[in-house]
Structure 1
């Protein structure tokens, strides 16, 4: 446990971030999750034992983590921001029944030819979002 904490502190410092208890807690929480939580879910998780964090604090921590590339915002449904500490390139699958979200390997779809975009468009990044029904809901 202490080794994990030391790694988180080292990572935050290497990105030039001041290590605050809130940033540490939010980042540690995201590193342990694969469910792509919302701010509300992170806040609930952090405040299970004793309410010490506010929604504004979680948003501020996420913004700082996002700005230095430790966390990415995932937009899979309208009006809902989710967060992911897996910043390596990957896609997402979202079950329309149970609403679970799973990572999909980057190379799952082969090469996507971005040169087919119309003239004048310059792609900077892309992500495939697959929507369907997971094996648990079938």
Structure 2
């Protein structure tokens, strides 16, 4: 999911966002990773070599990027928000030992008949989370 600097600038501008160094850095960081990091992991990554951002700034950037649908918040564990720059429909696998998270192709499962759910429910979307052990933890 990597992108060149100019591509990221174009994407951010297309959503009507002002290009700040911190917003750019948060989005670029998420585009380069596939591990569904927490805000704290993003902050640590960004500040590894040179201080670029505070925790509040990272959270603000994440909220803004989520509001314009450039990223999504992934809730796979109680109380832990992770972030994903892959906004196309897909599912997730979570290793219950090392907590590694990886994407699963949307078509990996047969479609679910949402009409079989209780009457009166209106479904906007769904996502399947599969939990188990990854190859390393088996």
Asked whether the equivalents of residues 74 and 82 of structure 2 are also in contact (C-alpha less than 8 Å), the reply is yes
2-structure distance, mates of 1:137, 1:38:
21
Q: CA RMSD in A?
A: 0.9
- What pairs with 1:1-138 in structure 2 (closer than 5 Å)? 4-138=4-138
Deviations 1:41-94 (A, max 9, x none): 000000001123100000000011000000000000000000000000000000
Offset at residue 137 of structure 1 (A): 1.1
Task: Return the TM-score normalized by structure 2.
Answer: 0.96
2-structure distance, mates of 1:89, 1:37:
18
Which runs of no fewer than 5 residues in structure 1 stay unpaired?
Answer: none
Which runs of no fewer than 5 residues in structure 2 stay unpaired?
Answer: none
Q: How many residues are paired up?
A: 136
Secondary structure of 2:4's counterpart equals: helix
2-structure distance, mates of 1:135, 1:48:
29
Task: Return the TM-score normalized by structure 1.
Answer: 0.96
- Please list every run of at least 4 consecutive aligned residues from structure 1 whose deviation after the TM superposition is greater than 6 angstroms: none
